[in-house]
Amino acid sequence: MKPRSLRRRHPLVTYPLLFLISFIGLLPFYWMLSCSFKMNEKMFLMPLQWFPNPINWSAYGDAWKAQNFTRYFLNTAFVAIAITLGNLLLASLAGYSLSKFRYFGRGVLFLLILSTMMLPLEVTMVPLFLIVKKFGWPNTYEGLIVPFLVEGFGVFLMRQYLQSIPNELIEAARIDGASELRIFAQIVMPLCKPALAALGVFTFREAWDMYIWPLIIVTKDSLRTLPLGISLFMSSFGTAWDQLMAVAAIGTLPMVLLFFFLQRSFIQGITVTGLKE
């Protein structure tokens, strides 16, 4: 028996197709990198330069100095890490509660949390802004972080995963006299590592990408995130393409690293958005 290979391959069709797909997938990434090293006056030279010649090393430094990018980068990193940690903790606590305990209202509460997955920020942005404003949180890290500390998707993911963990493990720990909190921290959490990794990478990516919300509540330069900084740079230095591409490349770098080092979790995080109840 030959698994999978039954679906016969036609190498002469498959590989040209794969190269075409790779070309389309990589083109913007390659173009961004190569043009960040190109002389600005050669950007639109006909025929186009596919490889920068001569190589321009100054775009990265110049762009970084033109605006407060170090600050933007650190802001984004801080906000994204805080949101990720919050989601990991709260979603696993909630998922644990919803999967391993029986209590009044459990089903309804789970459905309520789940239903927020269909409630996009784009629908609620106006009142959410008003609420956050009432808390006095515009232009604060709280305002950027707290509303996103937990998402319906994360709770759903952790609940599904935790259901596959045998109750006997938890019961045995209870009989040994472990406190509930300790059971959660020392027995349940370690078993959840794959799910936590997937959720963590997924959340970090979303948080790194966040644009509409910072755009609404941040007006102070010291709180700008990288996406805001990049779009601002584009509107104020619209013709310095080499520098713009350099900034864009730096904004992409953490995601590329994440992808290459945690590829499995990265892909799993997306696979599970396709989970069905």
Taking CB under 8 A as the binding criterion, the range among 52-60, 64-72, 189-197, 263-271 that sits at the site for other proteins is 263-271
The Cα 180–Cα 174 span in angstroms is 8
112 binds other proteins (CB under 8 A): yes
User: Out of 161, 162, 251, 265, which residue is the one contacting other proteins (CB under 8 A)?
Assistant: 251
User: Out of 39, 66, 81, 90, which residue is the one contacting other proteins (CB under 8 A)?
Assistant: 90
101 binds other proteins (CB under 8 A): yes
Q: Supply the DSSP string of 191-251, one letter for each residue.
A: HTHHHHHHHHHHHHHHHHH--HHHHHH--SGGG--HHHHHHHHHHHSTT-HHHHHHHHHHH
In the complex, the smallest distance separating the C-beta of residue 186 from other proteins, rounded to whole angstroms, is 15
111 binds other proteins (CB under 8 A): no
Which residues ranging from 22 to 61 are in contact with other proteins (CB under 8 A)?
Answer: 22, 24-29, 31-32, 35, 44, 46-48
172 binds other proteins (CB under 8 A): no
Residue 68 neighbours by CB under 8 Å, 6+ apart:
221, 222, 224, 229
9 binds other proteins (CB under 8 A): yes
118 binds other proteins (CB under 8 A): yes
The Cα 229–Cα 69 span in angstroms is 7
Contact 154, 84 (CB under 8 A): no
166 binds other proteins (CB under 8 A): no
Contact 57, 181 (CB under 8 A): no
User: Out of 73, 152, 156, 265, which residue is the one contacting other proteins (CB under 8 A)?
Assistant: 152
109 binds other proteins (CB under 8 A): yes
Query: In three state form, how does the secondary structure of 34-59 look?
Result: HHHCCCHHHCCCCCCCCCCCCCCCCH
In the complex, the smallest distance separating the C-beta of residue 190 from other proteins, rounded to whole angstroms, is 17
Q: How many residues of this chain interact with other proteins, rule: CB under 8 A?
A: 97
Which residues ranging from 192 to 231 are in contact with other proteins (CB under 8 A)?
Answer: 208-209, 211-212, 215-216, 226-227, 230-231
98 binds other proteins (CB under 8 A): yes
Q: Residue 40 half-sphere exposure, CB side, CA atoms within 13 Å? A: 15
User: Out of 3, 54, 166, 190, which residue is the one contacting other proteins (CB under 8 A)?
Assistant: 3
74 binds other proteins (CB under 8 A): no
Nearer to other proteins, 54 or 176 (CB): 176
123 binds other proteins (CB under 8 A): yes
The Cα 35–Cα 59 span in angstroms is 10
The Cα 196–Cα 200 span in angstroms is 6
